[in-house]
Structure 1
C-alpha cells in the first residue's frame, strides 16, 4: 500500500487530527459512491457518510494496522448504511392517480429489470460482494476483511448473487455484464 497513506494512518491513530482529515479527503469519492449505491439518494448518502466519519474519528485509536485504514473505513461505512436502512425501512407510496390507473388498466406487462433494480433486490451481503468486486475491483481477500467474513464466504456470496442476477436479468444481459 502507499507509504504516505500508511504514514498518515499511523499519525491519525496516534491522535493527529490533520492526518485523519487528509486520509478522509483521499477516500471521499470512493466512500460517497459506496454509500450512494446503498442509500440510493443524496441526502441519506450524506447522512451515512457523516455518521461513518464520526464513528471512524472516535474509533481511530482502535485501528491496529495502518495499512488497512481504507478497508476499516469501508467496513464502518457499510455497517452505518445497514443501520440507517434498518431504521428507515423505506416504503414507497404511489400517487392516487397512479394506483387508480393501475387498477383500472387491463394491461398486464411482464416486469422489466435493469441492473440497478436487480441489485437492490439482492440480500445486502450479496449486493456488497458484487459491488465491491465488480465495481470497485477489490480483491476477494480485501472484501472479506471489510465484511468480516472468510474469503470462501465471499466467493459463495458472489456465486449466489450472480445466479440470482442471471435469473432476474436473463442470460443475454447477464452474459454482457458478468462474464
Structure 2
C-alpha cells in the first residue's frame, strides 16, 4: 500500500485539503502515514513508551479536532509536529520534571550492542540540553529537516535556529567530553 510520502506533492496536497474539509478517510490516511514519525519524535523527547504513545494520542486528537484550522496543506507535517512538541512541553511542565528514562531505546531503531553505550550517552546528553537547543538538534539530526522547516515548527527566525544548532552542538560536545 502506498503511503502519502510515495505520492507526488499535488496528490498529497489534495488528500490534506480533503482532510481539512472533514473527509474522514483522508484524515485517517494522513494520520496513519505520520504515526510512526510522531511516535519516534515523542519517544526522543520523553524516553518512555507509554508516555510517548499518550502524547501521540493527544496530538492526533488535537490534530483531528483542529485540522480545519490548518492554513496551508503543504505545512501539515510542520503543523502536527508543532502540536506534538507543545504536548510534550505541556506534559513536562505539568509533571514538573524532565524524564531521563532510557528503557526500550531499541524501539527507536535497531541498535548494535557495540554502539549502544555511545547512543545512550548521546541521548542522555541531548536530554540535558535546554529545549531551545534540543528541539532543533532532534529535528535536524534525527529527521533531516532543513533550517527553514525547523524555523517554521519552532516559530523562530532561521538565523536563531542556526545559532541554537551551533550552540547546542557545542554544549553536546562539552557534555560528551566531560563524560569520558
TM-score, scaled relative to structure 2:
0.80
Q: Deviations over 1:5-57 (max 9, x none)?
A: 21111001111121011001111111110000111101110110011111111
Match of 1:159 in 2: 166
Match of 2:17 in 1: 10
The answer for unaligned runs of 5 or more in structure 2 is 1-7, 100-119
Query: Which of 153, 156, 159 is the equivalent residue of 1:149?
Result: 156
Superposition RMSD in Å: 1.8
User: Is 1:86 equivalent to 2:96 in the alignment?
Assistant: no
TM-score, scaled relative to structure 1:
0.80
User: Is 1:46 equivalent to 2:53 in the alignment?
Assistant: yes
User: Is 1:133 equivalent to 2:140 in the alignment?
Assistant: yes
Q: Secondary structure at the match of 1:170?
A: helix
The answer for unaligned runs of 5 or more in structure 1 is 93-112, 174-179
User: Is 1:61 equivalent to 2:61 in the alignment?
Assistant: no
Q: How many residues align?
A: 152
Q: Secondary structure at the match of 1:114?
A: helix
2-side partners of 1:16 and 1:30: how far apart? 22
Q: CA deviation at 1:91?
A: 7.6
2-side partners of 1:64 and 1:41: how far apart? 33
1-side partners of 2:45 and 2:98: how far apart? 16
